[in-house]
Structure 1
């Protein structure tokens, strides 16, 4: 999606409620980021406000295909337009990474996660907010969560293992239907509490926390040995010299 469409969604009543509910899930995983280096990838700015004040530094990277907006609006810019598969950071540079509207929009999600692995510190942690394949929010394109590729738990678990991450925590958000009606928005928190208590399967997004596998398993490959026959020297009699005719 274009960055303007994402900004417009979060300026509407439905987007404001969605941000608050997802922030509850993120805050439950990361109560504090004091002294940490925090990076958001995708369109994370509605959620990075949780960590901007107490973190050592907090920046946002937005993919080139999506576009970038100035953030924060009234302070020096902390957002940049980047190539998501070649992040402008050295290895092991950040402690916390938040992916929102990133993985499901990416043409190469495995390539994106391997680049995240590279820039994450060995003790780093990552949170991904991903549309739930079974959720009702993926059934409509009126919200950003209805665009891109949604994931099930098994699919995202397999993708994380392939890219050298270990899932450590799961939660869900957006149990309410994606409707802008007044009474539905007012009862959004009640939907969240009931949905989480009953483990209902139709949450709009999955919130997954993962850590970096520092000592990852490297598949063994059998070395191919080319067999060359051993050649023994063989004595071959030389041809007799021809005599001269006198």
Structure 2
């Protein structure tokens, strides 16, 4: 189990590293696209100060009774798009390919990590199963563990070809995998672990109950009756 966990942790680190690289590429795309704009400057005259109009409306707000007194020239800036150069287009294409490659790598690692988590649970179930009563379950799970799945969906498709397990724990495992979409595999497998713990506790309680001791104690509580002695008493005492 320790080896499996280290594999999962290793894949998590790989995903984090590639995620950082992916973020950097996306930042490069945004920075490049920002250069596809030019700032155009225009000048215009706007009011600087105001004065009261010669004729005012006493019922109107003050701003309606004001007019420009002086003017000033200001600059306005406008962001105008431009056509990217061929070199910039090629750079965008290259960045896009690198981004898609990183996304595929992350997707693959996530699938491998999900499979590793399932295999960890499979190993725990195999430890629990009884070779005498769960031979088919054990054979199926051992065969499952030998497979080299490239992703979770491939694993799920394989599970769908197996017959229902004899053990309730095996059935819970199959159900968890079939109902999962991969991203929620932790939640699904936690139910399998709970079922496994429940069955282990049941078997512990069964083993702690010693039937022979119970049978012996039960005999001690019942008084011993000798049939022959009873018959002799009856012969000696005809009134009985």
Same fold per superposition (TM over 0.5): no
Give the structure with the larger helix fraction: 2
TM-score under structure 1 length normalisation: 0.23
TM-score under structure 2 length normalisation: 0.23
Structure with greater Cα Rg: 2
Give the structure with the larger strand fraction: 1
